[in-house]
Chain A
C-alpha cells in the first residue's frame, strides 16, 4: 500500500531533550516536506526536500533540522525542543513536477513539550 508513515504518533517530552520524528514514504517520491498545524494558524511548512541531499527552509524553520540521506526517509530533528514547538506535525511527499503531483500526507505526530 502506498503510504507515508510517521513515528512516533504521540510524544510527550521535556524542554531541551533532543528528539527525532521519522518520516518514510514508499512511493519513490522526490519531494518531501514537514508541516506543523496549530489552532488558528493552520498548516505551515517547516522544511522541504527536492531530492536526496537537497533540503531548504519553509516558512517556520527555526528550531528544527532535517536530513535527506535516502530518498524514502526525511526525519525531523528538534535539537533542543521548547514548549512553543508543541504542535501536530505532518510529513508529506509528492512526485516531481511533470507528473501527477498530488501531495500525500502522513497520519501526523502529536508532540507535547513540557
Chain B
C-alpha cells in the first residue's frame, strides 16, 4: 500500500528565505504527483502537478521536482513571503485507479 511522508512536519522561516519541502512515497508506480496548499480551515488549492514522465514543474516562485525511481519530490519556494504561510500537502495518484494518497503535510510559517 502506498505511503506518503512529508518532512518536516512544521517549518518556520524568516521572510525572504528560499526553502525546500520534502515528500517521499513508497511505491514508485505513480501516475502523477500533485502539490497542494491548504490555509487553516479552508479547502485545498492545487499548486503544481507533475506527471510521472516529467522531472519538474514551475509556477512563479514555486518549483516542484520529481525523482520517481527514488520515490521523492521536493517543492522549492523562492524568496518566501508571509503570505506563503499555510500547510503544504503532496499527493500521489497511482498508475491504476484514481485515489490520491496524501502525505501528512508541512505546516509552513513565514515570519515578517
> Do A and B bind?
yes
* Chain A residues with a Cβ under 8 A of chain B: 31, 33, 35, 42-45, 48, 50, 58-59, 88, 90, 92, 94, 97, 100-108, 110
Looking at chain A's contact residues, the main secondary structure is strand
Given A48-B99, A90-B44, A101-B49, 15 more pairs with CB closer than 8 A: A33-B99, A42-B104, A43-B91, A43-B100, A45-B100, A50-B98, A58-B99, A59-B99, A90-B43, A92-B44, A101-B31, A102-B46, A103-B34, A105-B46, A107-B43
Q: How far is the CB of A52 from chain B (nearest CB, A)?
A: 16
Q: Which residues of B contact A35 (CB under 8 A)?
A: 100
Bound Cα distance A101, B93 (Å): 10
15 contacts between A and B (CB under 8 A): A35-B100, A42-B104, A43-B100, A97-B31, A100-B49, A101-B31, A101-B93, A102-B34, A102-B46, A102-B49, A103-B34, A104-B46, A105-B43, A107-B42, A108-B42
Partner of A101, one of B32, B102, B104: B32
**CB <8 Å contact, B42 and A43:** no
* Chain B residues with a Cβ under 8 A of chain A: 31-32, 34, 36, 41-46, 49, 89, 91, 93, 98-100, 102-105
Partner of B89, one of A43, A58, A110: A43
Q: Which residues of A contact B104 (CB under 8 A)?
A: 42
Looking at chain B's contact residues, the main secondary structure is strand
Q: Which residues of A contact B98 (CB under 8 A)?
A: 31, 33, 48, 50, 94
Q: Which residues of B contact A88 (CB under 8 A)?
A: 41
